[in-house]
Amino acid sequence: MAKEEKLISCLSKERVLIKFVPRENAMAGNDPKHVLYGGMAETSTRTYVVPMLRSGQLKDVLTKDEKAFLESYLGLEDNALSVYNIENNFWKKFKVTVRKDGDSLDLSDGMDYIRYKVLLANTDLIAPSMQALEDRPKSTYEFVLVKEDERVGATKIKVDAKKEAYKVWGKIDDKADMLRVIIETITRRPVSSTTPVDELNITIEGLIDKDPKHFLRVAEDEFLPTKVLIRNGIEAGVVINRGGQLFMRDNNEPLCESGEPTLNVAAGYLNMPKHQNTKLLIEDKVKEYKANLKK
């Protein structure tokens, strides 16, 4: 009895939704009606187990107090939830299976609480909250955990972000080159230089509706104008793109001082005062190229 009096409950009257995080899929594109939308078939499931540490030991997903309480609450033997048990290790057989259409967990239920902690432990595959998913998105995330009280806050945040995104969009909705680079950056797919600005804006509206924060990160990038210049420089033939690495055509000079001349690196390189001659050269060639197109 003395031991039970010291136990602290880890359970709470909360529900957590497990929501699918869609990813770009070449076959499905952005069509939510496609059976493979987001990179996962409608009827498929994902199964998660306790992660293994580099040492080969199972990751301890519960605190000492959580283990003590849950062992008592679930009627288990002392240390039954220890990851160090050699025989009858609870965690080696424990799995959490999630459907594409998601699921929910009741944190007042002992087993659901354990499922929740196992999912949280899979840090590369499960986003712990909507805020984490938006602020620090990982390409490896498959699902996100959303507490019911967070849904209201997340909705307000998204509405506020959408308002700001529309303001930013309104300042550039006639700048086809900039719209195109924003779309290419977000979707990671090339956009034809002949795409009408009205069509570009339709795409932009969809991207804002889907993820306004992502749009804002790209549209408010301080190097965006330089990235647009580089994109135009490629079309003008003054810059060469070799598998995502950028070089000047005339002298094969990489647009970087060290490392690989990716778009981000090249934009920073051209913004350095000592590389303004190279930047001005690209600008002149782009102007010349566009002037010839109008003839």
- Domain shared by 96 and 171, yes or no: no
The pLDDT, as a whole number, for residue 288 is 92
Which residues are CB-contacts of 123 (< 8 A; sequence separation ≥ 6)? 51
Residues 208, 164 within the same domain: yes
* 248 strand-pairing partners: 239
- Of 152, 181, 204, the last residue of a domain is 152
- Which residues of the chain fall short of a pLDDT of 50? 1-4, 26-30, 35, 37
Read off the pTM: 0.55
Same domain assignment for residues 283 and 236? yes
Q: How many CA atoms lie within 13 A of 286 on its CB side?
A: 17
Distance between CA atoms of residues 79 and 284, nearest Å: 73
Do 245 and 290 lie in a common domain? yes
What CA–CA distances, in Å, run from 213 to 30, 55, 158, 162, 241?
A: 18, 38, 8, 8, 29
Entry field: residues in the chain: 295
Clarify whether residues 144 and 161 are in a common domain: no
Q: Give 133's Cβ-side CA count (13 Å radius).
A: 24
Domain ranges, residue 36: 2-152
- Same domain? For 9 and 98 the reply is yes
Are 180 and 120 in the same domain? no
How many independent structural domains does the chain possess?
A: 2
Q: Which of 119, 152, 185 is the last residue of a domain?
A: 152
- Of 113, 133, 152, the one marking the end of a domain is 152
Residues 148 and 264 in one domain: no
Dihedral sign for Cα 241, 246, 250, 251, please: negative
pLDDT of residue 38: 59
pLDDT for residue 133? 85
- Residue 105 contacts residue 16 (beta carbons within 8 Å): yes
Whether residues 204 and 138 share a domain: the answer is: no
Same domain, 122 and 185: no
DSSP letter for 47, please. Answer: E
CA distance 241 to 261: 10
Nearest alpha carbon to residue 11 among 149, 116, 123: 116
